[in-house]
Amino acid sequence: MYIFQEISSGDDLFTDAAKYKEDEDGLYYEVEATLKTESNKFDDRLIGANPSAEEQVEEADDSAVSGLDVVLENNLVSTSYDKSQFGKLIKSYFAKALESKKDAENLPEIKKRCEKVSKEWYGKYKEMEFFVSKNFGDLTAFSWYTGDREAKMIFFKFGVKKIKC
């Protein structure tokens, strides 16, 4: 099993239990996420108890939280950026990501693909949600829905370390 952590904070971002892939240039991870609802309802049956048929048991108020599975499981925190901030972030993130490819023979093609993807993401800005790790590191991920319950999340590799468990 692999855990992917944010380099600056050490916070978990996702695991290999989530379906993920690297882009063709190895600059970012694309993770598939699904909308889910988690309930915090505590039922005595969870600890092996049987409810009494004779007396009414006091129950706590139940609540449920909905969100993307990757976000809920790794305690990512929602944040916001305006469109110009997002554009600057993507530009600076790709610049950092390209530093690892500076010696590549196909660097011009990689840069062209980065520009194309940046424009595509910039065009989806209104559909996006942004997340940081629970200790408020850098922009950790952003996502957009690809269906009713499915979303794509992007994590830049330069800010992520992959740890084998």
The confidence band for 44, taking pLDDT boundaries of 50, 70 and 90, is low
Instruction: Answer yes or no: is pLDDT of 146 > 70.
Output: yes
Structural domain that includes position 123:
2-38+68-164
Residue 40 pLDDT: 72
Strand partners, 66: 37
Mean pLDDT within 3-17: 90
Q: Can you give the CATH number for the domain in which 136 is found?
A: 2.170.150.10
For Cα atoms 114, 115, 120, give the angle at the middle one, nearest 5 degrees.
95
Query: ∠85-88-92 over CA atoms, to 5°?
Result: 140
Domain presence at residue 47: no
Q: Residue 29: its pLDDT value, please?
A: 94
Per-range mean pLDDT, top range of 51-60, 97-106, 154-163:
154-163
Q: With respect to residue 52, please indicate whether it lies within any of the assigned structural domains.
A: no
